[in-house]
Structure 1
Amino acid sequence: MTTAVAIQPAMPRPTPVPIAAARPKKQQKPSPGKENVVSGKPVSSSLGPVANIRTRRERPCDACRRRKSRCVIHEGAVLCVLCEFHKQECTFVQSPLPRKRKVVDDGKKDSPNNQKKRSVDAEPPPLALPTPTITATAPSPPPAQLPLAGVHIPHLGETLGLQRRQHSRYIGLSSPFDSLLIGLSHFDTRNESTFDLGTLRRVNDHECFIMLPDENTQDYADEADTLNHVEQLVHPHGPALLDLYFRVVHPSFPIIQKHLFVERYRNGDRTFSPSLMAGMYILALNWWSFDPRLAPHHKPDAARLEAIAMSSLSRAMERPKLSTVQAGLLLLQRPEADSWSLTTQLVAIGQELGLHLDCSGWSIPLWERGLRKRIAWALYMQDKWSSLIHGRPSHIFSANWAVQPINDEDFKEEGDGYDTRPDEAEEEKEENERGQILFAQMIGLTQIMAEVMDTFYTQVAIQDFANAGKKSTELILARAKPVQIKLRHWHEKLPPMVKMNAHTKGKLSSLGYLHLAYFATEITLHRRIVQSLDASSHDPYGFFMCRNAAKTRLISAMDFVNRLKPEHLQAFWYFASKINFTLIGTFGSLLWATAPAQEEADFYKTRLREYRWTLSVSSKRAEFLDYAVSMLDASRAMLNNLAEKPSLAQQVSNAGVPPAAPRSTMGPPPIYNQNQDVQMQEGDELKRSPSGQSFEGFGSEPFTSRPGSGSQTAEGSLADDA
């Protein structure tokens, strides 16, 4: 096992900039462990000279010794350049720190001649995956004291949420830090003001953060060792796994600043968050067999990576940064992940970082504004979909959500400190554009879904429907109409690049999770209507049409699943997809249980059997579908207790009247045939029932029903109030 880092850059490396008084961080050489510590007690240059006078001119100060950085003191200055920049003491009282070296099995491992270079450019790209983005030799974890001479590291100190040695916490209006008092502080050119409790960082005239040193938090000194442990577990496949992540996951879930991350990694910067690195590796392991470089080798232990990631994440929450939220979101995308508590913790951390605010005009780098917006909306979606799949209250409220809608500018990465950028192939540009549109459309759909949850599933809404009594369905339909119109318009305006019939060119495509989420949203809406129906208290025609609209939704959703191709099933699926597949089966079971006649119940029984078979076959390519299969079996076991329903003939006989042809104003009778779908032509509207209430069918999207059935899907909107 080699311990030396051998990076093969994919582009010319920028010339290192020597230390200068104006930009001292160019020469700053971070090294893991306690060497990264920065004092959190800013001291002005008016301090007494006793602690700052050098006894030996060539001796570095204590802080520079810890950083392994060159200590530069200009003529007449009391503090060295770095200590003056960080507003900290410049002392010469500590003894030299003992060197820490990793135990190696072979004394020749540090020899540059033994570094094994593996060029991935000669390898053909994996099937259904674009060109690799990280071309590098797999690095062994660097020794704790390894100096990174000549490494170009961007100025993350200008950022708010990605600084290396300090973290930010948002100061709210009602906190002890009154905004008027903060305005009396003197802020420097970096919009910072130092005082005893930390450093105030003002981002505009209204919002302010307090910057606190990481060294004062628990286990900060062990973070470098944790990162080394993560790298050891995936060695020597780290770069190949990162390639997989950026090719499969990142395009449709762009919460990482890709170019900045890749260049930092290529240039030897190893100050990444351990939980973030572990999360990226863990997700990439799901496509291990897709990469010809990785498939022949033994797969790293994902369970050990997860254990390290979760413990590291819990410690990182004490010093929250954007990387903390990024790591948590990635860990929640694991197919087997299902943590409501972690989601709520991430929402709290996001609020502490100010992710719920509008950062459009903040004095932070332009690329960080876009990154913050992408992470904020990803956190919003995580909270809202977790609320749906768990049936629990959301923690993000519209009254306190000021994040602006995402736009094309938020995906640009210029200005990150690395001027040289690789030329993207045409296919790569197209995939990136498709992924950005997919991400933006998922945000829009989530906002509609959140409105569905707020309208029908809050405790206030539930009580309103209970109080309405027999008029609950009428109230639900009235409230459903505007939401349904929004949902239909969203689907009609989908860009061609993210429609299911868009050409994938034989590559993995994550479009499935967006359209599945659409069906889950429609089902969540219709589910509430079906739950309120009561045949004994509703006019037959309105009862029939409400159930018929729900049936059409179920058939469309099942047929969508039936048409998924391998390039869809084997792609990245959003975390809620596992439950969204299950909700389709749950909705079918609900319609079965509430069917008024045995013929209709038999129809749903048959369709659910077909749906289970589709899921079980598809699970060979998407293992997370096994959960949906098991939930279907659980629902089926519950339905065994369902009493046998009377047939239509028995119902007519019990009524004591012969069956008559329906009147033209009442539409077709509610007769179901398990071999033929009930149809609703586009634009059909329900006529007024004798009670005077007006009903209409719900909207639909243009997915046809089962191949060969010849039926069409419903299209329409809820009627205006009578």
Structure 2
Amino acid sequence: MAETRKYRSRKSRPCDFCRRRRMACLRKEKADKCEGCCLRNQSCTYTMGPIKKKRPDSWKVETANPCIFRLERRPDVAPAENNALELHNGKTSLFVGFSGDRDPWLLRRIGEAAGADSGTTYLLKNTSTQTPIVFAMHPTEYLEPRPGCYEVDAVREAAKPVEDSLLETYFSVVNSSYPIMNRSVFYEELRNGTISATLLASMYVVAYPFLPDKSVVEKKAADWFKLSDFTARALPLEQGASTMQTVQATLLKLHERPMIIRDANFPRHWVQTASLVASAQELGLHIDPVGWDIPWREIAMRRRLWWLIYVHDKWESLGLSRPSHIHSDDFSVGEISESDYEDTVPGVRMFLVMVRLTKVLSELLTRFYTVKALQRPAEESMAIGVELLNRIDAIDTMYFPVASPAGPMASLVLAKTTLALSCCRSILYTDTDACYASLSSRALNYCSEFNVFLTGLQFDGFWWCYSQMNFSIVGTCMVAFYVIAQCKVDGEAWKSQVECYRNNLSALAKQTHVTQLALMRLDALYERIRKRTGGNVPKRVVATDEDLFGEWLANNGF
């Protein structure tokens, strides 16, 4: 559908910058610089000669061992995968959608007819007569998403001499708990030079705290901060022409350890989550790709990424008390399963259970935390809440693994407890007097089970990023029940659970940063209750931002 490109004579040489970038060198009449150099405010020079292409010697092909030659030619995948949407060939694919000025039904009818937007082609990716799925393929340079400093080599240089150890740590610690990357695909893209600098930098930054050699962690702290700063600046620009690697990099960026624990929304998490969902929708990740004319590997990747985004959005929505960006009517991606994963890492099954819990969470957010839902009668809220609690218990019984690694299992048990107690709290506040008697014993049981799980837990590994908020929510829910229970029969039982939880948080805070926010919030609540009740609650030393910042500086060698 694209218009025919205007003839350009070979005499019109590209400038040195455009030649290095292998991009079109466009110059307006009577201008002394091309558009690319004007945009970057740099000189436009013509000193470089044509870049010579390296060609293999003919004798290598003729004399090569036939077996090796067949192995080398096996990637007949390359021509077959020209139908992929993630090509890394200077083109960016954006989902057309259904309501804009580019009508997919009309585009399907007119086929490959030329369009008004030069350089853009439209690809029909399914054969459905009901809903045509069309993608617009734009030259990436038209969208100007990447500055000239995007150099993978510079990112890899910052990771030396521990790059291999970093990548091994990433896949053994991070990816085994949060299965976002396919190991074989990653190394293939790294060899081919198609990995993005932002994704590689995000992997390094997330993995570095878990390096076995802690002296290297401290020695190279400045390099990790530089890489983190690079991704913070580069990703918003890259989202102008997102790829699936951009989405992966953003998800990992959201899982970076915070430098200072001040608030659950650290730093700009909700805004970054909104950008993440927007990038996914531009790529069409919210539409089920099964049956599309794209490689199976890309179909599986699109499905995995969508559910990672779905889970992230819902738990951030709960923790930050914000309306979710994703609604059930706006996506069609089917249920995810183990068949969508090529690598069988321990975190896969845990993540599949997390998706099931998140669907219950989505209903909780819709039924209890929208503006209109706050006006529902107490009896109706009680019925809805009990139904959700029963579903949570059923997921626990049917899908929670009996034995599993501590990493993803700890995040999963925490998520289940957070969801159950949030549901109890939601019912409680509709009518405290009427609902407390029915809910107290059930909520107390959730707290007791979780405290037993935490007691003696030795784990300084990778936690899902919403775990920090979840620990804090659990503490708030416990204190909410305890405050109401002070004048009731089970007041001492609730006090005991809150005390036990506080001790568990304190013990875990010596191993990981994840419980620090919850500890700060719980101490602050304790202090307020003590003042209100005149000393019935043991006095606690409230951790302050300055205390934690000082500890962070000391731990990082400053």
User: Is TM (by shorter chain) over 0.5?
Assistant: yes
Secondary structure at the counterpart of residue 594 of structure 1 = helix
Number of matched pairs: 479
- The equivalent residue for 1:698 is none
Instruction: Flag the 1:245–1:293 CA change in 2: closer, same or farther, 3 A.
Output: farther
* 2:355 is the alignment partner of 1:437: no
CA drift of 1:392 comes to 1.1
C-alpha contact (below 8 Å) 2:156/2:163 kept by paired residues: yes
Q: Which amino acid aligns with 2:368?
A: F
1:575 is displaced (CA, Å) by 1.0
Alignment of 1:675-694 (within 5 A): none
Q: For 1:56-71, what aligned pairs fall within 5 Å after superposition?
A: 66=20
Distance verdict in 2 for CA 1:560–1:494, change over 3 Å: same
The answer to which of 474-483 and 361-370 deviates more is 474-483
Establish whether residue 244 from structure 1 lines up as the match of residue 169 from structure 2: yes
Task: Give the aligned partner of residue 547 of structure 1.
Answer: 440
Give the aligned partner of residue 59 of structure 2: none
- The residue that corresponds to 2:556 in the other structure is none
Report deviation, 1:483.
1.8
Alignment map for 1:458-473 (pairs within 5 Å): 458-464=370-376, 468=377, 472=378
Residue aligning to 2:243: 321
Is residue 573 of structure 1 aligned with residue 463 of structure 2?
yes
Q: Which consecutive residues of structure 2, in runs of 5 or more, have no partner in the other structure?
A: 24-44, 52-72, 259-265, 537-558
Alignment of 1:212 with 2:138, yes or no, is yes
Q: CA contact under 8 A between 2:360 and 2:392: conserved in structure 1? A: yes
Contact between 1:169 and 1:209, CA under 8 Å: does it hold in 2?
Answer: yes
Q: Displacement, 1:218? A: 3.3
Deviates further, 602-611 or 232-241 = 602-611
1:600–1:260 CA distance, 2 compared to 1 (3 A) = same
1:303 maps to what in 2? 225
| 1:292–1:164 Cα change, 3 Å | farther
Alignment of 1:200-349 (within 5 A): 200-205=122-127, 206-218=132-144, 220-225=146-151, 227-265=152-190, 267=191, 269-288=192-211, 290=212, 298-299=220-221, 301-336=223-258, 337-338=266-267, 339-349=269-279
1:453-510 per-position Cα deviation (integer Å, ceiling 9, x unaligned): 212111121122xxx3xxx1x2221112322222222111115xx33xx164xxx632
In the aligned structure 2, how far is the partner of 1:42 from the partner of 1:163?
22
Distance 1:196 1:301, change over 3 A: closer
1:633 is matched with which residue: 514, 519, 523?
523
For residue 168 of structure 1, what is the aligned residue in structure 2?
A: 93
- Overall identity of the aligned pairs, in %: 27
Larger Rg: 1
Deviation sequence 1:359-409 (CA, Å, 0-9, x none): 011111110000000100000011100110011110100011201111233
* One-letter identity of the residue aligned with 2:420: E
Q: Distance in 1 between matches of 2:358 and 2:203?
A: 24
Higher helix share: 2
- 1-structure distance, mates of 2:461, 2:287: 33
Q: Are positions 1:528 and 2:426 aligned together?
A: yes
Counterparts of residues 451-462 of structure 1 (less than 5 Å): 451-462=363-374
Q: Is the 8 A contact 2:468 2:518 kept in 1?
A: yes
Structure 2 CA distance for partners of 1:62 and 1:230, relative to 1, 3 Å: closer
DSSP-derived class of the 1:212 partner: strand
Aligned to 2:453: 560
Note the C-alpha offset of 1:292. Answer: 8.7
Shift of 1:627: 1.6
TM-score by length of 1: 0.61
For residues 523 and 255 of structure 2, the distance between their equivalents in structure 1, rounded to whole angstroms, comes to: 25
**1:604 CA drift (Å):** 3.1
Q: For the residues of structure 2 that align with 1:574 and 1:66, how far apart are their CA atoms? A: 40
> What's the counterpart of residue 11 of structure 1?
none
**Measured at CA, do residues 503 and 210 of structure 1 come closer, stay the same or move farther in structure 2, by a change above 3 Å?**
closer
Counterparts of 1:157 and 1:396, CA distance in 2: 31
Q: Return the alpha-carbon distance in structure 2 between the equivalents of residues 624 and 99 of structure 1.
A: 54
Identify if the C-alpha distance between structure 1 residues 233 and 66 changes in structure 2 by more than 3 Å, giving closer, same or farther. closer
**Does the CA contact (< 8 Å) of 1:598 and 1:644 recur in 2?**
no
Distance 1:603 1:221, change over 3 A: closer
How far has the Cα of 1:240 moved from its partner? 1.8
Any conservation in 2 of the 1:343–1:383 contact (CA below 8 Å)? yes
Name the counterpart of 2:383.
Answer: 478
* Alpha-carbon distance in structure 1 between the residues aligned to 2:424 and 2:121: 52
Residue in structure 2 matching 1:492, options 384, 394, 397: 397
- Residue 275 of structure 1 and its aligned partner are, at CA, apart by 1.8
Distance in 2, Cα, partners of 1:320 & 1:259: 22
| 1:624–1:261 CA distance, 2 compared to 1 (3 A) | same
CA distance in 2, matches of 1:193, 1:410: 36
1:63 to partner: Cα distance: 12
Partner-residue secondary structure (3-state), 2:429: helix
Asked if residue 519 in structure 1 is aligned to residue 417 in structure 2, the reply is yes
Query: C-alpha deviations, 1:312-344, integer Å up to 9, x for none?
Result: 101101111111111111111123255111001
1:393-412 to 2 correspondences below 5 Å: 393-412=323-342
Q: Does 1:622 align with 2:548?
A: no
C-alpha contact 2:447 2:497 (8 A) present in aligned 1? no
Distance 1:183 1:96 in 2: 47
Question: Counterpart of 1:555 in structure 2: which amino acid?
Answer: S
